[in-house]
Structure 1
Amino acid sequence: MSKKSSVWFWLAGLALLPVGAWADEAAFVPEVVSVKERMSPGPNVFVNQMDMATSTIYIFSTKDLTLKGNVSGGSWGLATLSRDGNTAYMASGFLSRVAYGTGEDVLQIFDVPTNTVKKEITLPYKLTQYTPDAAQLRLSADEKFIYIQNATPATSVTVVDLEKGKVVKEIPSPGCYGIYPMENGYGYSAICSDGSFATFKLSPDGQTFTSQKSERIFDVDEDPIFLASARVDSDLVFLSYNGNLYRVSDASGVIRKVDVIPATKGAPGSWGASGYGVMTYDSEAGIMFMAMSSNRHEGTHHHGATEIWAYDMKKKKIVSRSPVKDISTIGVVKGEETNLFGLDIKKNIIVKYDINPKNGYSLKLSAQRTDFGFATMIMGAR
C-alpha cells in the first residue's frame, strides 16, 4: 500500500470516531443569558429622545457617559424626573397604526433603577405635539400633582393627582403656554402670547383654581423669550432671543418683573440665544450658562449655539465664553463633580464639559457619545 493510501485510510478512520473523542465535555460551560435587575449606582444624566413612533429616555453615567439603561413610551414624549431621580415620567401618544389611526395619550411612570413601568394613567387625548421641552411636563412642589401641557391647538393643562393615580382637572389657558410651578403650594404660571404671564393657583384637592394675569413682561415682536427657564434664588429667569435675561417673581401669586439684564451688551457682533434648552443655572456657583450664537437674525433662534457664555448673576457680567459647535440644549448636572452637558443638534451627540471655576467657569470637552436620535432635553439627578 502506498504512503498516500495509508494517510487516506487514517483520516477516514478519524472521521468515524465519535465527537466526544475530540471535545472535552467537562470543560464546556454553556453561556447563560440573564438580565441585570438594577442599574449600577451613581449619578445619572438623562436624554429625552423624541420620535414620531417611539420616544425614549436614555440614562447615562455622569462619569463617563456609559449607557446604563433606558425607558420608552409613545410618540412626541414629554418627560420629567422626580427630585430624587428615582422616578421618571413620560406623557406621550400611541396611535393604532403608528403614524395614523385612533389615538390614546398616556402618562407612564417608570422606576429608574430597574427601568420598569410602575403605572400608566390614561390622559385626555389633547397632549401637545411640539418639540419636547421641560416646560411641558412639570411636578408640583411636593410632587403630589403633575401638570401636562395640552394643545389641540387650544391650550390647556391636565392635572393628574399622582397619589390617587387619576386625572382630576383640566385648566383652560387660552393664548398661554408652558408650565412653571410655584415653589410652594399648588400653582404654576404660563407665558402668554401678548407678553404677559398667567398664574393659576389650585386647591389642595386640585378640583378648583383661580387665575391672575400679569402686566406685559416682554415684547413678543421685538424680544420674545424661550420656554427654557431657571430658578435663581426664588425668582424665575428667562432668556430672550436677543440675549436678555428676564428675572421675574411669582411669590405673590402673579408674575412681577424684577429685572431685565442685557447680557449681550458690549459684546461685538449680533449675538443672541440659540437652540432649545438654551440656559441652565449652577446655583452653588451663581453662574448662568447660556447657549449663544453670532450673527443672530430672524429665524435663527433654533440653530445650534457656537459659544456657551458663563454669566455671574450677582456681579451681572460675563465671566467666560467657551467655543462649542451646534449645541442646542445645555444642562448643569451635579455628579461626583459639577459638569455641564450639551446636545449636538446636528449629529445627535451628548457631550460632557468640565467646568473650570478658576478660569471664569470656562468649559473643556471631556467626553461624548451618540446612540440616539433627535433629542432636545437633558435632565440630571444624583
Structure 2
Amino acid sequence: MSRRAGLLAATLLFAASDAQAQQAFPQPLAEEPIPVVETLPERYPDSFVFVHDLHFKSIPDGRAALVDVSSPVSSVKGQIPVAQFGTLLPSTTGSEIYAGETFLSRLTRGERTDVVSIWDKATLAHKGEIVLPGGKRGMFVTLKNAMQFTNGEKWMLVFNFTPGSSVTVIDLEARTILGDIDLPGCMLTYPTGARGFTSLCADGTMMTVLLDEVGKAKSTTATRAVNDIDNDPWFMMPAMAGRTAWFVSFKGRLHGFDLSGDKPRDLGGFAMVPGDAAKGWRPGGWQVTSADAAGHVYVLMDPNGAAGSHKNGGTEVWVADTAKKAVARKITMQNHTLSIEVTAGAKPYLVASRPDGNLDVYDANSGTFLHTVAQAVNDPMTMTAAGK
C-alpha cells in the first residue's frame, strides 16, 4: 500500500469511528460544577447502616461507610475516617457522629494523641474534636461497647486500657472531660439507668457505676458471678432489644439483663444448642448477635464450632424468641458470614458481612435473600443500624 493510500484509509477509519461515537453519544456531556456537596437527610432512614472497616492492611487508615442496604445500586452514601483501632458511635437523637481515634505524630511512631472526632450527620463534614488525656484509650479490634452514651446522649463513656482499665466521662454539649473512673478488673461499658453504666469483670460478676450530676461515681455495686469465664464465657457485644442486653456464650447460651434501672435485672437465659456444645453448632464471628424491634435475637452460628472457633464466622443465623426461650427459626446464609446486624422498623433487613467486603442483605422477617451490596468496605468488622 502506498503512503497516500495508507493515509486515506486511516482518515476514513477515523471518520467512521467519529461517526460511531457521535451516534453513541449524540449530546456532549454537561459541565459538572466542582466541588459538588450532597446533603444526607437529617434523620437517616432505617435502611442506613454504618459499616466499620478496621482496614487490616493499613490500620491507621480505618474508616466507616454509610450504606443504604435497601438497594444494591448506589448503596454507599458516604464515608468518614475512624483511625487506628477506632470506635464509631453515631447519635440516634442528635445531629452528630462520634469516632474515638488515635494518631501518632509520625504516623507509625512519635507522640500519641487520642481524640473523639465529631462529624456532622447531614454533610459528613468534620466539626471538631475532644482531646482525650493520658494516651490510654483502649485500642483493640472493634468492640462497640468501648464507647457508649449515657445521660440521654449528653455524656459519653470512653473505655481506657493501659492495661489498667478505666472510663473517661465526657460532656458532649460542653465538649469537656468530666473525669475518669477506675474499673479494676472490669471491661467495657453497657449504659445502665438514666446516668450510669455496667461493666463485665474478670471474676464473672457485673459491676454497675451510677454517676452524679457532675459525672463522678455516686455508687458502685456488683452482681453475683453470672458469666462462667472458665467454661462458657460470653461474647462481649450483646444484642440490644431496647434497654435489654442479650449476651450469647461461646457454647450458645443466651442470657438477658434489663439495664433500664439503676442495677441490671437478671432475666435468666436458655441454651440455644442442646447439650454442652463441645463441638458442632456454636456462635461464631466478630459481631455475632443483633435484635429486631420485636425483641427477637439473631445469632450467627458456625456448624464446625469447637474450642477456639469463636471468631470464625458462620453459615446460619438462628432467631431466638426470648419470651418463649426457644429458637423460632433458622436462616441459611448465601455465603460465609463474619458479622450480622438487623435494622430497625417493622420490616427490618438482616445484613450479613462477608470476608471479601461484600454485604448480603436478607428480609429479616422471612429470611429471604434479597441482594448483595458489592465491596462496600475492605474489612467489615461491626455494623450499626442508623435507627438503633
* Range into which the TM-score falls when normalised by the shorter chain: 0.7 to 0.9
For the 8 Å contact 1:74–1:92, the answer to whether it is kept is: yes
**2:150 matched to which residue of 1?**
140
- Measured on the aligned residues, the alpha-carbon RMSD in Å equals 2.6
**1:165 matched to which residue of 2?**
175
How many Å separate the matches in 1 of 2:169 and 2:204?
25
For the 8 Å contact 1:291–1:308, the answer to whether it is kept is: yes
How many Å separate the matches in 2 of 1:68 and 1:191?
36
Residues 1:47 and 2:57 are matched in the alignment: no
TM-score (norm 2): 0.84
Aligned length in residues: 354
- CA shift, 1:54, in A, is 1.9
- CA shift, 1:86, in A, is 3.8
**1:370 matched to which residue of 2?**
375
- CA shift, 1:100, in A, is 1.9
Q: Identity rate of aligned residues, in percent? A: 25
How many Å separate the matches in 1 of 2:82 and 2:291?
29
Q: Give the SS at the match of 2:299.
A: strand
Shift in CA distance, 38/197, structure 1 to aligned 2, threshold 3 Å:
same
- Tell me the amino acid that sits aligned with residue 66 of structure 2: I
More divergent stretch after superposition (317-326 vs 110-119): 317-326
**2:65 matched to which residue of 1?**
58
How many Å separate the matches in 2 of 1:267 and 1:146?
38
Which residue of the other structure, out of 324, 330, 335, is the alignment partner of 1:321? 330
More divergent stretch after superposition (77-86 vs 148-157): 77-86
How many Å separate the matches in 2 of 1:246 and 1:295?
23
For the 8 Å contact 1:217–1:257, the answer to whether it is kept is: no
For the 8 Å contact 2:204–2:227, the answer to whether it is kept is: yes
**1:20 matched to which residue of 2?**
none
- Tell me the amino acid that sits aligned with residue 368 of structure 1: V
- CA shift, 1:74, in A, is 2.3
**2:76 matched to which residue of 1?**
67
The 5-angstrom pairing of residues 271-286 of structure 1 reads 271-284=281-294, 286=295
How many Å separate the matches in 1 of 2:60 and 2:118?
19
Q: Give the SS at the match of 1:334.
A: coil
Residues 1:33 and 2:37 are matched in the alignment: no
Q: Give the SS at the match of 2:300.
A: strand
Note the residue ranges of structure 1 that are not aligned, 5 or more in a row. 12-26
- Tell me the amino acid that sits aligned with residue 114 of structure 1: T
More divergent stretch after superposition (124-133 vs 315-324): 315-324
- CA shift, 1:312, in A, is 1.2
How many Å separate the matches in 1 of 2:174 and 2:204?
36
More divergent stretch after superposition (334-343 vs 42-51): 334-343
For the 8 Å contact 1:104–1:123, the answer to whether it is kept is: yes
The 5-angstrom pairing of residues 78-93 of structure 1 reads 78-84=87-93, 86-93=95-102
For the 8 Å contact 1:311–1:318, the answer to whether it is kept is: yes
How many Å separate the matches in 1 of 2:194 and 2:115?
26
- Tell me the amino acid that sits aligned with residue 318 of structure 1: V
TM-score (norm 1): 0.85
How many Å separate the matches in 2 of 1:106 and 1:93?
6
- CA shift, 1:380, in A, is 1.3
Q: Give the SS at the match of 1:53.
A: helix
- CA shift, 1:105, in A, is 0.3
**1:245 matched to which residue of 2?**
254
The 5-angstrom pairing of residues 300-311 of structure 1 reads 300-311=309-320
For the 8 Å contact 1:78–1:132, the answer to whether it is kept is: yes
Shift in CA distance, 153/365, structure 1 to aligned 2, threshold 3 Å:
farther
Q: Give the SS at the match of 1:98.
A: coil
Note the residue ranges of structure 2 that are not aligned, 5 or more in a row. 12-27
**What per-residue deviation string (whole Å, max 9, x for no partner) do you get for residues 113-147 of structure 1?**
10111220000211111111211110114011000
**1:334 matched to which residue of 2?**
344
For the 8 Å contact 1:354–1:366, the answer to whether it is kept is: no
Shift in CA distance, 251/379, structure 1 to aligned 2, threshold 3 Å:
closer
**1:220 matched to which residue of 2?**
229
More strand by share: 1
- Tell me the amino acid that sits aligned with residue 69 of structure 2: T
For the 8 Å contact 1:133–1:376, the answer to whether it is kept is: no
